[in-house]
Structure 1
Amino acid sequence: MSEIFGTPELDRRTLLRRAAAVGLLATPAVGMLSACVGSGGSDDDQADKPQGEVSSTNPLGVDPNTPVEIVIFNGGLGTKYASDVDTPSYNKLFPNSKVNQTNTEEIATVVQPRFTAGNPPDMINNSGSKLMDQGALVQAGQVQDLTDLFAAPSVDIEGKTVKDTLIPGTVEQGTFNNKPYVLNYAFTVFGLWYSGKLFSDNGWTAPTTWADFTALLDKMKAKGITPYGYAGANASYYQYLVILTSAAKIGGPDILKNIDNLEDGAWQSDAVKQAAKAWGEIGAKYSNKAFLGLKHTEVQLQHDQYKVGFYPSGSWLENEQAKDTPDGFDYQVMPVPSVTTADKMPATAIYAAAGEQYFVASKGKNPRGGMEYLRHMLSKAGAKGFTELTKVLTVVAGATEGEDISPGLTSGNKMLSAAGSDYFSYRFDTWYKKLDDEARAATNELMFQGGTADKFCARMQKVADAVKADDSIEKFTR
């Protein structure tokens, strides 16, 4: 899943616009940002020089007595992987380096003012509905180059560098301007989730064709179950992901590549229109319009109560719903069914990608410590502990081979194995916030408010064209 980014240098005015978007131009920080812009990055920062003695156990030159501060997003993955797995691993090597951990559901609210004031935490898990604009932070010189981290030896996989232990494409996925700035840590599979118990009790099997899919939805509807649902208030990206998964299966993965690259007419392709039409019909016939105003956990709770048949999501779902999932529910996941009999990709093809962003602040007090913390996250023990606690895989290859940790994770692993090399992803949602915002709104219109495929595609193409024509927005390609 290698991604290649082409990112031209930004002029000063564009950089200042993007910095303003993430709050870096507040009055107290103008001097800080000006210095950052003038330097063109963090190459002269203290982080590029070892602060402690370099050794086989301290390859990054961490000062063993300096505290490290981390901020973790408290969402579907929880925070115990950091406090219970990674921090003890870090402190085993550096017992005098106190790890100060803050957990929050609103990363931008808590962390962005710290960047503005010039005292950011050392390592940040940039995730959730209120995450910061990662590209703007990189371009403002606020993010540490992670080259040394990936070149360092693994904590516990002998004879390999950190990069050697990762799923191919991991480093590239967090690369900007040919340098790695972001670690995308969680390897997530996406599909349609359902209760194995509900299916077993009714003698249902997971469908692979659209005809079988809609036939099963009819059976669910006849039993008083809402056959299909997602939350329109904050999780509409779950649904546009499903629409674009269908488009990629119909027309091939280049459909998504063309969308990412802002190719002319990419959103107007036949494959996208076919996918939008198919899913618009699902919304009209098999969902509940009341879901438009609900949050993800509210619809997910109904799913756990056997009131919703299929729910689209990533593999964090099982862990996020752990406290509300009844015994025996048996989370299972299936690929999005083939829309046509002539799809270019097989029924087993899926959307899967490294995600969940972690980065080190180049101007934090201890960026070397921040990178070292990531090195422990990328150990085999760290990856295994993360998966055991979250039921989500990491980008550390083979860290949980042979282990069936939970029903949902086991089902997701089987789906990923069946997909083989037929998995894909898109990047426009993190590259261009305007497109992500519009896709969410356009999807809700399509699924809940009587929209049409033609209107969905025209609406998305209009915004994509506007982004392409806006010279103030930096363009990325793959």
Structure 2
Amino acid sequence: MSSVLRSRRITALFAGTGALCLLAACNAPGSEPGGGKPGSTLVYWSMWKEGEPQQKVLQASLDEFTKKTGIKVKVQWAGRQVLQQVVPRLNSGNPPDLTDQDGSSLRAVLGEGALGLQDVYDAQITGETQKVSDIVPAALVASAKNEDGEPMVVPYEVVGSTLWFNGKQHPDLDGKDQLGWSEFTGKLDELKQKGRTPLALDGDISGYDAYWMTWSVVRHGGVGLLNKACQDKKGATWDDPAFLAAAKDIGELIDKGYFPKDFNATKFPAQQTAWATGTSKTDFLLMGTWAPSETGAALEKSGKDVDSVITYRSMPYPEVDGGKGNNATQAGVIGFAVPAKARNAEAAKKFIQFFLAKDQLTPISTQADNLTPRKDIPAPSTLRDFAKEYAGADRQYFQPNDDCGGVAAQWVTDVWEPTLVDFFNGKIKSAESFVETIKDKSVAHHKNSG
């Protein structure tokens, strides 16, 4: 799995079971009141583990924050299941002051248990004249709001998915910002005629099947259509012709054998590693922005020199004729949230304003090799193409599964992903059958869930 916990995993966990009160979390000390004054204490529970690049960057900034403000920090590097630890403390009225996770999970798991942070967005970044709202595109956090319409997440990383290829293998794609669908499938045909199966896909993670279909639906029907459909109790939204058009495109990729034979039997990360090393006959990988760090680590572990094997390049998912979402980019966030009833919410807010300063946030790019929401911080070289995609004019942003994980997590787990697996496995034979099946299962799901 990637260094970032996929939102579908954690939201499904909380939808299907009660939050578990881990011993270490339940016995942890609460924060000392103090309103963000010198000598007060900020309690921060983070999704990162000790030794990870982001942890090192954050720890250095926390140390600097204490030095400059006099506010002490008690930090728990809890790992990806941090919200499992936060929720019991939130329910008992003694949560940490600050936590972080991907935006969809924060919204789905904390929900109204998080403070609105409009005052943070309206505040100046520490040491700068810019406000937080000046550096965070509004569209990037449009879905991460509470019932009062206030943003509940402040991002410090931008993650997304894009179409990766090896620049050493495909110099012909250099300089191409985006392919049209027919140009893309023409390229796949050309590669297949050379004996290649050009699309890499690890079959044991259903969320990766979902990347393909979600992108296709968004390209045809625009951002928000799938989000509307997953919440539609009567199922009428599935009659939108964009769903059939999207399913036909994905069906074409499956039927023409562009994915490796028996890819569904492979175990992650076999396909993506083979793509990166060049040991498979694959050329494109639709994957998150963590692909270079994951596959690069695998290459280094095998003793290979990364730069001699691969030049990481990417481009947006292909455009479709008349697509309502041709200018869309899948861009999610990892960011901070302040739990309701936090004893030292003011200190938490001060640290957010502190960490978003350019000098504090830059190491997320230079040391942790991730993209930040600030467009004045250069992207790591491996993400330069995605950064261009993200920063394009008039971009629309959408979350994984069009943010269905934030509004209908159980539907993603019980309906969307299993039906996609059946489609990719050939158990559902046609695009028409796929749309009919997903509609029927969605209606049944909402009826049974009340």
TM-score normalized with structure 2 length:
0.77
Amino acid at match of 1:66: T
Aligned pair 1:249/2:219, yes or no? yes
- In the alignment, is residue 106 of structure 1 matched against residue 81 of structure 2? yes
What's the counterpart of residue 43 of structure 1? Answer: none
Q: Which amino acid aligns with 1:281?
A: E
Opposite residue 334 of structure 1, the aligned amino acid is M
Q: For 1:113-152, what aligned pairs fall within 5 Å after superposition?
A: 114-115=89-90, 119-127=94-102, 134-139=107-112, 142-152=113-123
- The match for 2:303 is none
Structure 2 gaps, min length 5: 1-12, 24-29, 300-305
Question: How far is the alpha carbon of 1:71 from its aligned partner?
Answer: 1.6
The SS at the match of 2:47 is: strand
Give 1:214 shift. Answer: 2.6
1:337 — aligned with what? 318
In the alignment, which residue of structure 2 is the partner of 1:311?
285
Match of 1:31 in 2: none
Q: Report if the CA contact (8 A) 2:44-2:97 is conserved.
A: yes
| Counterpart among 23, 27, 34 of residue 51 in structure 1 | 34
Aligned partners of 1:294 and 1:94: how far apart in 2? 52
Aligned residue for 1:444?
Answer: 421
User: Which one of 58, 62, 71 corresponds to residue 83 of structure 1?
Assistant: 58
- 1:187-223 superposed Cα distances (whole Å, 9 cap, x missing partner): 33432111111213xx566671333323332444455
8 Å CA contact 1:213, 1:337 repeated in 2: yes
User: Which of 72, 75, 85 is equivalent to 1:97?
Assistant: 72
C-alpha distance in structure 2 between counterparts of 1:257 and 1:454, whole Å: 20
Maintained 8 Å contact 1:185/1:357: yes
1:389 aligns with 2:367: yes
Partner of 1:233: 204
- 2:307 maps to which of 297, 306, 327: 327
Root-mean-square deviation over aligned CA pairs: 3.7
Contact kept in structure 1, 2:45 and 2:77, CA below 8 Å: yes
- In structure 2, relative to structure 1, the CA distance for the partners of 1:260 and 1:84 (3 Å cut) is same
Contact 2:46 2:78 in 1 (8 A): yes
Q: Does residue 46 of structure 2 align to residue 71 of structure 1?
A: yes
> What is the CA distance between 1:62 and its match in structure 2?
4.0
Residue 272 to residue 78, structure 1, CA distance change in 2 (3 Å): farther
Deviation, structure 1 residue 282: 1.4
Residues 107 and 127 in structure 1, CA contact (< 8 A), matched pair in contact too: no
8 Å CA contact 2:159, 2:331 repeated in 1: yes
Partner SS state of residue 283, structure 2: strand
Shift in Å, 1:156: 2.9
Q: Which residue of 1 aligns with 2:394?
A: 421
Instruction: Give the residue type in structure 2 aligned to 1:388.
Output: T
Task: Specify the SS of the correspondent of 1:232.
Answer: coil
SS state at 1:79 partner: helix
Q: Which amino acid aligns with 1:237?
A: G
Query: What is the rounded CA distance, in whole Å, between the counterparts of 1:220 and 1:20 in structure 2?
Result: 43
**Conservation of the 8 A alpha-carbon contact between 2:223 and 2:328:** no
Residue 161 of structure 1 deviates from its aligned partner by: 2.9
Q: Residues of 1 paired with 2:71 and 2:155: CA distance?
A: 28
Shift of 1:273: 1.2
Could you tell me how far apart the structure 2 residues matched to 1:221 and 1:444 are? 23
CA contact (8 A) 1:174 1:184 kept: no
Q: 1:433 aligned to 394, 405, 409, which one?
A: 409
> 1:169 maps to what in 2?
139
Relative to structure 1, the CA distance from residue 471 to residue 63 in structure 2 (aligned partners, 3 Å threshold; closer, same or farther) is farther
Contact 1:243/1:276 (<8 A) preserved: yes
Q: In 2, distance between residues paired with 1:433 and 1:82?
A: 31
- Contact 1:85 1:385 survives alignment (8 Å): no
Residue 314 of structure 1: CA displacement? 2.7
Task: Tell me how far 1:312 sits from its aligned partner.
Answer: 0.9
* Letter paired with 1:381: D
State the one-letter code of the partner of 2:394: S
Paired letter, 1:393:
L
**1:362 corresponds to:** 340
- CA shift in 2, pair 1:190/1:136, >3 Å: closer
Deviation at 1:380, TM superposition (A): 2.2
Q: 2:259 aligned with 1:287, yes or no?
A: yes
Question: 1:432 Cα deviation (Å)?
Answer: 0.5
Q: Secondary structure at the match of 1:186?
A: strand
Shift of 1:81: 5.6
Whether contact under 8 Å (2:161, 2:287) holds in the other structure is: yes
Change (3 A) 1:332 1:136: closer
CA distance in 1, matches of 2:390, 2:119: 31
CA contact (8 A) 1:316 1:390 kept: no
Superposed CA offset, 1:268-309 (max 9, x none): 322211211221231341213544355543332122112231
**Could you say if the C-alpha distance between residues 226 and 25 of structure 1 is closer, same or farther in structure 2, counting changes exceeding 3 Å?**
closer
Q: Secondary structure at the match of 1:321?
A: helix
- Tell me which residue corresponds to 2:270: 298
| Counterpart code for 1:331 | Y
What does residue 358 of structure 2 align with?
380
Superposed CA deviations along residues 388-447 of structure 1, whole A, max 9, x for unmatched, are 234433333x331xx3631x3211123345x52143422222111123222222222222
Moved over 4 A (4+): 18-22, 108-119, 203-207, 222-225, 293-296, 466-472
Residues 432 and 274 (structure 1), Cα distance of their counterparts in 2 relative to 1, 3 Å cut: same
* Counterpart secondary structure, 1:126: strand
The 1:371/1:363 distance shift into structure 2, 3 A limit, reads same
In structure 2, the residue corresponding to 1:124 is in which secondary structure? strand
Q: Quick check: 1:190 aligned with 2:161? A: yes
**Residues of 2 paired with 1:287 and 1:229: CA distance?**
6
Q: In structure 1, how many angstroms separate the alpha carbons of the residues matched to 2:267 and 2:80?
A: 14
For 2:183 and 2:435, locate their aligned partners in 1 and report how far apart those are by CA, in whole Å: 26
Unaligned runs of 5+ in 1: 1-17, 29-45, 53-60, 473-478
